[in-house]
Amino acid sequence: MIEIIPAIDLIEGKCVRLTRGDFEQVRVYNESPIDVAKSFEDAGCRHLHIVDLDGAKSQHIVNYKVLEEVASKTELKIDFGGGLKSDDDVRIAFECGAEKITGGSIAVKSPTTFERWLEKYGSRRVILGADTRDGKILTDGWQKGSNESIIPYIEEYVQKGITQIISTDVKCDGTLTGPSIDLYKLILDKFPRLYVIASGGVGRIADIAELEKAGVPAVIVGKAIYENCITLKDLERINTTGTCLQNE
C-alpha cells in the first residue's frame, strides 16, 4: 500500500500552498499548523512533510518553533525541509523534533556539506530533495535552475549512500492535474531499491492509485487535501482499509 504523507508548507507560521513554486501565487489555508497536523493524525496519518518556505527564501531555518510545537503535541514523524543550509540549521531541526530532514539546494550547491550530514546522521534520517523542471534539478525554493540532470544527479548520491528521495515535478505542483507518473517510472526503473516519495500534482485519489500501480512507495499530498479534493475522511478510510478507494 502506498503511504500518503500530508504536507504543511509554512510562510509566517501559517499553512499555505504555492502554485508551481511561485511565491507570487500564495494562498493561506489555515493560520494554525498544529490544528492541521492534529487533523492529519486523527485521520490515521503517521508521517508529515513540513516545508519552511520562509527558510527556503532566507537561506536558513525560520519556522522551527512551528516544527517544535507539532513534534511535541503530536506523534507524527516529521520530515522537515526548506532553508537547511548549515550544520546549525540541521541541528536545530533535529532538536526541535524532526525525525528526518530533506536537503535540496544544499546538495547541489554544497555537496560536501550535504555529504557530511549524510555521514553524521545516516541515510535513514537524511533525504535527498530532487525537484525538477524539464529534467533539470532546481534550487533556492525552485526559483533557480541548475545544470544537473535528474538521473545522473540521483545516481551520484545513490552511490554516496542515499536511500530516500523526494522528487517534485514543479510543472505539476499545486495544479491538481495529476502527478508526473513517467518521471517516477523512470527513476524507479533506474533505481529500483530507492525509496521514492512522489510530490506534486495529485488532485484525486485515482492519482494516488496510479502512483501505487507504478510502484511508488509514498506520495506527499498537500493542496488536494486543503481544497477538499481528497478529504480527511478519505484519508481515514484509506489509512484504515489500506486501499485507495475512489471518491464517492
Active-site annotation holds for 131: yes
Nearest CA-CA partner of 48 in 189, 211, 222: 222
The catalytic position among 52, 54, 131, 207 is 131
Angle at 167 between CA 195 and CA 73, to 5 degrees: 75
d(CA 42, CA 40): 5
Nearest CA-CA partner of 191 in 148, 154, 160, 217: 154
Cα-based torsion angle of the residue sequence 29, 98, 129, 106 in order, rounded to the nearest 10 degrees: 110
Residue 85 vs residues 16, 113, 122, 152, 222: alpha-carbon distances, Å: 22, 8, 17, 23, 24
Longest Cα–Cα distance of the chain, Å, equals 49
- 113 Cβ partners below 8 Å, 6+ apart? 85, 86, 87, 106
The catalytic position among 9, 79, 169, 173 is 9
| The residue count for the chain | 248
Q: Which amino acid is at 163?
A: T
Helix (H) or strand (E) holding 103: strand 100-103
Active-site annotation holds for 9: yes
Active-site amino acid positions: 9, 131
